[in-house]
Amino acid sequence: MSYRDLIYSAMMESDGTAAYALAYTVGASLRARAAGSLGELGAIEAFVTQMNALARQLGMERTLFVNPDGLEPEKGPQPYSTAADVVKLVAYAMNDAGFRFYVSQKERKVAFTRGGQNLGYLLRNTNELLGTNGIDGVKTGTTARAGQCIALSSQRDPEIRKEGETTYVTPRRVDIVILGAADRFSVGQQLLGRAWSLYDQWAAAGRPAQTSKH
């Protein structure tokens, strides 16, 4: 499969095999170019090390990645995170136009070769809320320990205002992360509606800046 189709498979249908294939290929490249301890790791380990390095860079202080697919291994350290941490990753990823395109697709046909035959498969995004209320991403996830999880991103048209001869363009996007929900799609719709309502109230009040209390 191509890199593109592996990304579609991993992001749209949570294909763990695709995630490992990407991790192995990218990790091998990272290891080959790296100096020091990273170059001594296996391809998967090098990739996961970089995942955790990015988490630290983004201020995800209560997050640990132990593998590419996020599932809990039978032995060894267990992965963990929080909604507050994951939303930082969502905001970072949704700033990339290519990533936004991948996770916004409801369906996508991918191609692969098996036994010398060229085959195709129609992926269907597991994010049932795509296309509603401005939602253009990002991903669902389910594990035995975490339960039903979903990260959502919703965008409105940018706000444009003029002050004198200067035009100001303000992007408008809300990101939500839900962990351990009984019904992630129902909860997601409720929280997103509440988030945009709070945004509208804040905008109507003149966008007051929040001040820290000491």
Mean pLDDT by 10 residues, the chain (214 residues): 96 97 95 78 95 98 97 94 98 98 98 93 98 97 94 96 90 96 97 96 87 57
Indicate the residue type of 143.
T
Give 190-193 contacts, CB < 8 A, sequence gap 24+.
Answer: 192/133, 192/135, 192/152, 192/154, 193/133
pTM: 0.91
HSE (side-chain half, CA atoms, 13 Å) at 20: 7
Q: pLDDT value at position 213?
A: 59
Q: pLDDT value at position 38?
A: 74
Q: pLDDT value at position 31?
A: 87
Tokens encoding 121: 């498969």
**Residue among 155, 150, 198 nearest 173 (CA):** 155
Could you tell me the domains of the chain? 3-204 (3.40.710.10)
* CB contact set of 71 (below 8 Å; sequence gap of 6+): 16, 79, 143
Number of residues assigned to the chain? 214
